[in-house]
Amino acid sequence: MTPLPAKPARLFPTARAEAAVANKPTSTAQTEHPAYRLAFQDDEFLLRDEARPVRLQLELMKAEIALAEARIASTFVFYGSARIPSPEDAAALVAASEPGDDRRIAESLAAKSHYYTVARELARLASSVGEDAAGKQFVVCSGGGPSIMEAANRGAADVGAISVGLNIVLPFEQVPNPYVTPGLSFQFHYFALRKMHFLMRARAVAAFPGGFGTFDELFELLTLVQTGKVPALPIFLFGRDFWSRVVDFDALADEGTIARSDLDLFHIVETADEAWAIVKAHYSL
């Protein structure tokens, strides 16, 4: 009996190949109508409300595939304000402000510019861990924007390491900061999917002074750890003066709305070295 020919690697054509053919149809009333487009090439169809479950899946899948292909085994996540200036820009921010409340706010933000330096230094330390058999460890991951986020990605770039940026579509333009690795710069429509990617590989999280976005990300993480959805990991709140003023954690425990032991879920720290020492001890680095 003559041996059967080897089975081809693929039985069906790839979607890419089929799409190339589908893009060159004979022009008729039928082929010109959107209904004739391949579903995955039909933007009008994909953007319908009914296709939301598909879009949610795509936002989860796209970044996940890219991070896996980059062999990113774990991340060090940075949360923080998009308004705190770098030390180089602090004086200019104050100088450009108007006398009065505007000047007071500018001076308050400028006084926090040292956190930019701290975030940058912590990112350098995390990025120096490198790679093991499982992949790249403690890869810096930020929201991809300016200020504290920029400092984190910049710290990774300082030591020649890759870093991740997870931007979100906002009513005002938010351009990825220039220090994010281009192939690891993502843009999200859904906050929920963005927050999932922040935490799926996180082995440590640093929260610097910030606003609603920082609070949203931080308290969701604390809730996940508190409820056992996420294993305990080093969580850092940078700036005792800031955090003790804006959140009275002890009062929550005194009121009984959280357990006293929940105060041990995070560390309030001031310096990069202080936080990194806790990470090293936690993971026996």
pLDDT given for residue 25 in this prediction: 79
Q: Is the pLDDT of residue 254 over 80?
A: yes
Q: Is 140 contained in some domain?
A: yes
CATH number, domain with residue 205: 3.40.50.450
Q: CB atoms < 10 A from the CB of 270, how many?
A: 15
Could you tell me the two tokens for 228?
Answer: 């056992």
Q: Is 11 contained in some domain?
A: no
Cβ-contact 181, 198 below 8 angstroms: no
Could you tell me the two tokens for 242?
Answer: 């800031």
Cβ-contact 141, 198 below 8 angstroms: yes
Cβ-contact 169, 176 below 8 angstroms: no
Q: Is 7 contained in some domain?
A: no
pLDDT given for residue 39 in this prediction: 92
Q: Is the pLDDT of residue 239 over 80?
A: yes
Q: Is 243 contained in some domain?
A: yes
Q: Is 23 contained in some domain?
A: no
Over the chain, what is the mean pLDDT?
A: 94
Q: CB atoms < 10 A from the CB of 158, how many?
A: 15
Q: Is 39 contained in some domain?
A: no
Q: Is the pLDDT of residue 3 over 80?
A: no
Spatial distance between the Cα atoms of 25 and 32, rounded to a whole number of angstroms:
9
Domain that includes residue 94, residue range: 60-283
Q: Is 81 contained in some domain?
A: yes
- Taking residues 161-189, what's their average pLDDT? 94
pLDDT given for residue 6 in this prediction: 73
- Whole-model pTM: value is 0.92
pLDDT given for residue 12 in this prediction: 84
Q: Is 37 contained in some domain?
A: no
- Taking residues 47-68, what's their average pLDDT? 97
Enclosing H/E stretch for 22: helix 15-22
Could you tell me the two tokens for 28?
Answer: 């008729």
233: Cβ contacts below 8 Å, ≥ 6 apart? 202, 203, 204, 205, 225, 282
pLDDT tens for residues 17-35?
888 888 887 899 988 899 9
- Taking residues 177-186, what's their average pLDDT? 98
Q: Is the pLDDT of residue 68 over 80?
A: yes
How long, in residues, is the chain?
A: 285
Q: Count structural domains, the chain.
A: 1
Cβ-contact 265, 222 below 8 angstroms: yes
